[in-house]
Amino acid sequence: MRLLPALIAAVLAAPVAAEPVNGLPAPDFTATDADGKPVRLADLRGKTVVLEWTNSGCPFVRAHYDSGTMQARQREARGLGVVWLSINSGARGKQGHVDGAGARAEIAANKAAPSHYLLDADGRIGRLYAAKTTPHMFVIRPDGVLAYQGAIDDRPTAVEADAKAATPWALNAVKAVLAGKAPAPAVTRPYGCSVKYAG
């Protein structure tokens, strides 16, 4: 009898606990990118979308950018028609937080190639996807359904050599989706620094 209100309360009270589920529609969001333009996930229907949580102060993220592997994967994916969204959920005053100018400087310094660099300082999108680490990766099918979530690769270290030599799970998931197959693995344990949320 109290089940429905209890459920509603539980859903409202614990946004972090509501983790997205593969095979279900990925939660929609609208965010502002580094150039101040709004980007809405629903508008990208028809394309495979990659979400990459990033924080330039995190050693795990650094290993992927300093080794050049992250940029290479971004270019490879975009070459296949994929939309790549780098998302920064670092709260104001916390490690890795950037504003639009900071994000543009970061992209230039890394020679990075995301389709958009989304600013999520209030952590809204991060909480929506229960993004836990940087990097934390999600791959969304052209029909808007979540296909992969978890680690970027199979080597949970902050070592550049590992980033280069690892099996790129997230990129493999993108290729599987493009080939109309289900990624394997489809759920892995994300590794890295914790996302620096507010509060």
Candidates 27, 59, 68, 102: give the one binding another protein (CB under 8 A).
Answer: 59
**Interaction between residue 92 and another protein (CB under 8 A):** no
Nearer to another protein, 76 or 122 (CB): 122
- To another protein, the closest distance from the beta carbon of 17 in angstroms equals 6
Reference 65, options 52, 77, 78; nearest CA is 52
Burial of residue 143 (CB within 10 Å: 0-12, 13-18, 19+) is exposed
**In this chain, which of 158, 163, 166, 173 binds another protein, going by CB under 8 A?**
158
Q: Provide the Cα torsion 75, 87, 135, 194; round to 10°.
A: 170
Q: How far apart are the first and last CA of the chain?
A: 34
Measured from the CB atom, the residue of 79 and 93 that comes closer to another protein is 93
Q: Is 71 in the site for another protein (CB under 8 A)?
A: no
From 67, 71, 157, 172, residue interacting with another protein (rule: CB under 8 A) = 157
Nearer to another protein, 14 or 109 (CB): 14
Coil, helix or strand for 52? Answer: strand
Q: How far is the CB of 150 from another protein (least distance, A)?
A: 9
Are 33 and 70 spatial neighbours (Cβ–Cβ below 8 Å)? no
**193 near another protein, judged by CB under 8 A:** yes
List 36, 79, 180, 199, residue binding another protein (CB under 8 A) = 199
Matching residue, tokens 């909480």: 127
